[in-house]
Structure 1
């Protein structure tokens, strides 16, 4: 199939990938727009994996204050260079993260940072609920495992579905941004404040 400039522009608008990357993806997928989007996302994952270990000593701190000043959030988003830290896409993503933290109130950034006592308390509740419902021991374990996974996805920032677009998790959005920016990007710290809490 002949790839024209309009197709490249449409793919670029959808993915924000570079023009040559879009053209190459369309050529590799014989002009199939959806397959080209998937291919670009896969390449973004590969770039993110290569860049994961690199130091992120630049970045920005963004805040979000909800109307009325009762809830606020602050996020430190880091990257490798000052150049990327000042791009509109990077700053906008940091602002969106702050809004997300204010709205969803994650307990931790990563699964490893979730306090053990929070997990243990929740697990005890699920085990007791399952036992009270009369389920056999082997079923209880599977039920609790599934409920714990769901609970972790609700409280871990990277696993949460993005409040502005639930089709993507925060981790997927970061991976996509890494692919676009070509640098390692990480969330260093988050804080959420609520009047009276």
Structure 2
């Protein structure tokens, strides 16, 4: 499955027409329970880590919004994949966690990524205990954007994601580039990088000009995705 996901991500990076990448799942039991424990054995772990982590390197290079739709368990590598998406929506029944510590290992992606999105204290708590938390708690600490009831879940998700779909694709991409550029920089460096992307990238698009003109003329913008 990981190899297939990597192939899809390569295609997504090359496709200039996509507005959003959504990770969803069949059924209502699990988004993903993570990598097979057997793949952590000495003769298989190196290849597993290489293939698994390649997914996140690809995701970091994708400039359209990435979304995880969770309606069930999201554990281990599944939780890492979920958390790495730009937007996460979950049903009220969903349970989320990193249980690797129980089998004597730790989740490298979560160890690198969680401190940036939920802070050190919660990272230590989740990774050192391996406990599962509810979707509501995940929302409260910043792992999940929105939680909806199980009944009508799909309709709620579609409505929520609709707010992202009626925007200019290139402006969304430039915005995401600016956000990512500052992840490993201090504020002044991040601001400098964001200014360059804003002036040289975003403001050079037809949609930026259209958006400003539409606002000044008190009309609805007509995006050209250019």
Greater relative contact order structure (CA < 8 Å, 6+ sep): 1
Structure number with the higher strand fraction is 1
TM over 0.5: no
Task: Give TM-score scaled by structure 1 length.
Answer: 0.24
